[in-house]
Amino acid sequence: MNHDLELLLKLQVIDYDIGELERSKEYLPDMMENLTREINETKTKLETTKEELSKAQVKQKSLELELKTKEADLQKYQQKMMSIKTNKEYDALVAEIDAIKEAISSGETELLETIERVSELEKDVATLEEKTVSVEDSNTKQLSILQEKIDSIGDKMTDIQDSRGEIMGQIPKRTMSVYERVRRGKGGQAVVPVKKRACGACFKALTPKKVQEVKRADRIYTCENCGAIIYWDESISD
């Protein structure tokens, strides 16, 4: 294989790695933000559920107290029935007793519903506490790994740029100019193998003469259709 072509292939691998590092600088912070958001959302959900549980428990105690008061009033009115002397007093007392009984019945229904709600919320809190611990533990570990990757990007970029500079210094300027122009135009893929006697980039069939020229590998050849730098690879080109 042509020496310059070998250098271009190495350079293309380096440029791909540089592109990956550049992309990492963009998507890693987004990943970290998503992980942090998940932790905060889980904690917020837990706190909200705990607050709801606390309110439900307060309501339960309040309803229980109200029922005890109403039951005490009912007993008092029922005892008072023994001392009633007139029909008018009797009718008024019966109305009071009926109203209290209705209030007690309604209160008991509301209390049962509240007790059920408290039970549900207690289960929800237990589940969310477990989930919060799990999410925080898992996401914190991932955040640490991602932060290490971000911190290492600068050093990796410096090393890889140094390697790129060394290789560039060995490639003729004219060849580098072709490579850079094609790489910018094709989004990074500048050097491609011939595949089934066609350009590996645009898949345009090559003429028999062009195929023979590329096989000789005596210099750098480009696709006449798309401009990509093409080379012959026995394992996939024939």
List, for residues 46-76, the tens digit of each pLDDT value: 999 999 999 999 999 999 999 999 999 999 9
Domain that holds residue 41: 22-155
Torsion of CA 171, 22, 19, 173, to 10 degrees: -20
Give pLDDT, residue 1: 65
When divided into structural domains, the chain yields a total of 2
Residue 124 lies in a domain: yes
Residue 11 lies in a domain: no
Q: Are residues 116 and 188 in the same domain?
A: no
Q: Say which CATH number the domain at 37 has.
A: 1.10.287.1490
Q: Are residues 44 and 105 in the same domain?
A: yes
Residue 223 lies in a domain: yes
Give pLDDT, residue 229: 93
List, for residues 79-138, the tens digit of each pLDDT value: 888 888 888 888 999 999 999 999 999 999 999 999 999 999 999 999 999 999 999 999
Q: Phi/psi at 230 (nearest 5 deg)?
A: -115, 150
List, for residues 197-228, the tens digit of each pLDDT value: 999 999 999 999 999 999 998 899 999 998 99
Q: Are residues 39 and 134 in the same domain?
A: yes
Q: Are residues 132 and 183 in the same domain?
A: no
Q: Which of 155, 184, 209 is the last residue of a domain?
A: 155
Q: Are residues 150 and 194 in the same domain?
A: no
In this structure, are residues 194 and 210 in contact, taking their beta carbons and an 8 Å threshold? no
Give pLDDT, residue 26: 87
Q: What is the pTM of this model?
A: 0.64
Residue 31 lies in a domain: yes
Q: Are residues 61 and 97 in the same domain?
A: yes
Residue 169 lies in a domain: no
pLDDT score of 173 more than 70:
yes
